[in-house]
Amino acid sequence: MTTRPTTRPLRSRAPRQERELAEQTSLFEFRDRFKRQYPELTWLHSSLNGVRLTHAQAGKAKASGMTAGVWDVFLPVPRPISFETWTTTLLPAGSIAPGLYIEMKAGRNGLTEHQEAYRAALEPQGYRFPPSQA
């Protein structure tokens, strides 16, 4: 009679992508809960760039405009820039930031080269890119 080898217990920590997904889901639950009080939250939306696709789906997504480096979440609501809020801005205080990008990151996961390039291209235009770590 042979015995089966014992298996290791499953890891209790969720994989990084699942934690990022959980954080992003929480953000959109927050939006849905408070958009009556803050109607501008209605326009908060995601790019879905982090979603795993088949090779065929990825080809269609790229052909229809999905772009590497676009951050996870965007709020296209203009807001005044103050140095108290944005110390790394290239624009003077009192300028208007046309929108806010958020990239969901978990653990030690950092920005990709494409995400860094995207931020470098749009930050001088006034868009805000706060650091976010789940």
With respect to residue 84, please indicate whether it lies within any of the assigned structural domains: yes
Query: What's the total number of domains in the chain?
Result: 1
With respect to residue 10, please indicate whether it lies within any of the assigned structural domains: no
pLDDT of residue 1: 56
With respect to residue 11, please indicate whether it lies within any of the assigned structural domains: no
DSSP reduced 3-state for 24: helix
pLDDT of residue 97: 85
pLDDT of residue 80: 83
- Cut 0.95: pTM above it: no
With respect to residue 64, please indicate whether it lies within any of the assigned structural domains: yes
With respect to residue 29, please indicate whether it lies within any of the assigned structural domains: yes
With respect to residue 6, please indicate whether it lies within any of the assigned structural domains: no
Residue 62 CB: number of other CB atoms within 10 A? 12
**How confident is the model over 81-125, as pLDDT tens digits?**
765 555 555 666 677 889 999 998 888 888 999 999 999 999 888
- Supply φ then ψ for residue 17, to 5 degrees: -60, -40
With respect to residue 51, please indicate whether it lies within any of the assigned structural domains: yes
Range of the domain at 50: 16-125
With respect to residue 117, please indicate whether it lies within any of the assigned structural domains: yes
